[in-house]
Chains A and B, each alone.
Chain A
Amino acid sequence: MEILELITEAIGTLTRNKMRTSLAILGIVIGIGSVISLISLGQSSQKSIENQIQSLGANLLTVIPSGQNSGAVRGAQGGGTTLTLTDAEALMNDTSITSIQSASPEYSKRAQVTAGKNNTNTQIVGVYPQYATIRKIALTTGTFITDRDVSALSKVAVLGATTATDLFPTETNPIGQSVRVNGQVLRVVGVASPKGGTGFNNPDDAIYVPLSTAQKQLFGVDYLSTIAVEATDANKMTQAQNDIGYFLLARHKLRDPSQADFVIFSQNDILNTATQVTGTFTTLLGGIAAISLVVGGIGIMNIMLVTVTERTREIGLRKALGATKSIITLQFLIEAILLTIIGGVVGILLGITVSYFLSRSMQLPFAISISSIVLAMSVSGGIGILFGWYPAKKAAGLQPIDALRYE
């Protein structure tokens, strides 16, 4: 008997018994689909958590000037004037440093701000446009500081969320209003959305102005308080830190790192937490995958065992008519493979669709990996084929009369 004919016979048996076939396929579809969507949901959550950590600035380095020594008195850290805009620009423009994505020169100082009858004491931050990207500032309304604002020394301001309500408690949209800082009048062009955070460096309690405006018009300084640097990757933090360090030492003509007139901070705490959370999630994902594979696998095993065992009488009949054990086993193997392929393809499509809509409704980023599809297909498919083939092999090994009498 030819293999092609056996395949035809297997297809014939499957199509003649539509109910049984569709139940078996359904079992495989659910088994494979649930594995894929569960793993995908886990990956989506992982991605979402990672994004949130990223938004905290896990790959952010801050360079501040170290304290100045005047005689024997050592000044406070950050109180120095050694960092300049040209340092930041040189750092940005040096193409030999591949570990950094971008750098943001910043000058900030607290000042009293008034708007009509309201006033508050807040942090005035002179920035470049890339500040918004690096520090993850989003706007609820208006626009952020632009390159034009910086080059034209525009008198414009973007208010932090808290500052906006402090200065304009009754206004829902303060765009176009004026605020007064150190005798200068600034026009409000944007309001940042709340980031959350407390303490001295609360990003919501701040006013962002063009760096040039802050340096020249408001405070009359020519140095920076901070250069914020974004590394290309959270894993390249150490490399970026070294690159920046040596670059600035060379620029400041300092040989010994112990003489450095700047300090580089990395978000090590955040990074450590991020690594731990990601690690926990990887473990969790493994657990989800294992459980869903077991659950899906048992479902598939059950449906295949039941449908094949139910056909023991048919196997007895086929043997009585002259089929050999190997022909019967092969036919059932082909049937199991066909069921698994059909169920597998539908299951993969279902899994992808379900996880897409699940992640959308839960507002998670959609993530699906080839490895989860391969895992689901190989394990669940393997189980389907095994339990479609094994009971048939067992039944085909019986004396025909015992198989025919099977209840």
Chain B
Amino acid sequence: MIQINHVSKIYTIGSLTTTALSDISFEVKKGEFVAIMGPSGSGKSTLMHILGALDLPTSGDYILDKEKVSTLTDNELARIRNTKIGFVFQSFNLLPRTSALKNVMLPMMYAGVSPEIRKEKAQKYLTMVGLADRMNHLSNQLSGGQQQRVAIARALSMDPSILLADEPTGNIATNQAEEIMAIFQKLNDDGHTVVMITHEPDIATHAKRVIYIRDGKITQDKRNKHQVRVAIKN
């Protein structure tokens, strides 16, 4: 599903060069739930942005669903982001003063899905993340945990091949973080591939596989034999 082959990312600011990722290779198969861990500055966010086609690697190949993302044009990248990737940001990134429903419908609008189907699907996914009664609330009227659930519904709206979550619990209260992890586990159980970044070890324990990154290199890649299971409370 995902293949990262010898990917490097080097930032050049003036005469200063910083290596964020150096020659990383790994693979993620369909149906996996991977947590990428590492201290701040380890390069895990850079890796996530490359996986989400939000940024391009300096060298190396990124292959998603047999497509070589690193060589695509701007418009093809827009299509990949729209249809194959569901991205969940640490800071939610919802459109302000806009209803939960409208936020979830946005990617489908860019895909050209008809307004009726858009609304139907948005309602379905918002119900799934437990926000059936808050669909018409404006994004700024929701709590952090609720906003993140809207963001997850938005990520799911185009039925992407892969769900990417960049510190999804970083900006929300601990009790709500459990809820978010329960949703990801449920989605993974339903067959979604999930890749998540976190620097919190107890969040990482919810995943099935944990990759450790330090100074732009993978230091450890192991199965999580004791996956902590949480169920959605409703």
Question: Which A residues are within 8 Å of any B CB, using their own CB?
Answer: 1-2, 5, 9, 12, 16-17, 313-314, 317-327, 399-402, 404
Q: Interface with A: B36-44, B77-85, B189-197, B216-224, which one?
A: B77-85
Which of the residues A9, A16, A317, A324 comes within 8 Å of B109, measured between beta carbons? A9
Task: Tell me, in angstroms, the Cα distance from A163 to B49 when the chains sit together.
Answer: 96
- Check if B54 sits within 8 Å of A404, measured CB to CB: yes
Q: Report yes or no: B110 in contact with A321, Cβ–Cβ below 8 A.
A: yes
Given the complex, which residues of B lie within 8 Å of A319, measured CB to CB? 78, 81
Residues in B with CB closer than 8 Å to A320 are: 52, 54, 81, 87, 93
* Residue in A closest to B91 when the chains form the complex, CB atoms: A404
The digit string for B80-106, where 1 denotes a CB below 8 A from any CB of A, is 011100010100010111100010001
What is the CA–CA distance of A136 and B82 in the complex, to the nearest angstrom?
79
Q: How far is the CB of A57 from chain B (nearest CB, A)?
A: 67
Q: Chain B residue with minimal CB distance to A327?
A: B110
Q: Which residues of B contact A325 (CB under 8 A)?
A: 74-75, 78
Closest to B97 in A: A16
| Shortest distance from the beta carbon of A407 to any chain B beta carbon, whole Å | 13
Whether the Cβ atoms of B54 and A321 lie closer than 8 Å is: no
14 contacts between A and B (CB under 8 A): A2-B112, A313-B93, A319-B81, A320-B52, A320-B54, A322-B82, A322-B110, A323-B78, A323-B82, A324-B74, A324-B75, A324-B78, A325-B74, A325-B78
Instruction: For the complex formed, measure the closest distance between the CB of B58 and the CB atoms of chain A, giving whole angstroms.
Output: 12
Rounded to whole Å, the gap between the CB of B186 and the closest CB of chain A is 23
Taking the closest CB of chain A, its distance from the CB of B114, in whole angstroms, is: 10
Complex Cα spacing A12 to B54, Å: 26
Q: Is the CB of B81 within 8 A of A1?
A: no
B54 touches A400 (CB 8 A): yes
What count of chain B residues pass the 8 Å CB interface test? 28
B131 CB-CB contact with A under 8 Å = no
Taking a contact as CB atoms closer than 8 A, the residue among A2, A327, A404 that contacts B93 in the complex is A404
Indicate if B173 sits at the interface (CB-CB under 8 A). no
Whether A1 contacts B109 in the complex (CB less than 8 A), given A16-B97, A322-B78, A400-B81, comes out as yes
Q: Hey, which chain B residues are within 8 Å of A321, CB to CB?
A: 81-82, 87, 106-107, 110, 154
Give min CB distance, B99 to chain A, whole Å: 10
Q: Which of B56, B89, B110 contacts A399 (CB 8 A)?
A: B56
* A399 partner residues in chain B, CB cutoff 8 A: 54-56
Nearest CB of chain A from residue B108's CB, rounded to whole Å: 9
Q: Which residues of B172-225 are within 8 A (CB) of A?
A: none
CB-defined contacts of B89 to chain A, threshold 8 Å: 404
Q: Is B111 an interface residue (CB 8 A)?
A: yes
The 8 closest A-B pairs by CB, nearest first: A322-B82, A401-B54, A324-B78, A400-B54, A321-B107, A401-B55, A16-B97, A322-B110
- Please state if A322 and B111 are interface contacts (CB–CB under 8 Å): yes
Task: Give bound CA distance, A17 to B107, whole Å.
Answer: 21
Which A-chain residue is minimally distant from B138 (CB atoms)? A16
Chain A residues within an 8 Å CB radius of B55: 399-402
Given A320-B87, A321-B81, A321-B82: A401 touches B49 (CB 8 Å cut-off):
yes
Docked-complex contact B97 and A322, CB < 8 angstroms:
no
Q: Which chain A residue lies CB-closest to B86?
A: A321
Q: Which residues of B contact A400 (CB under 8 A)?
A: 54-55, 81
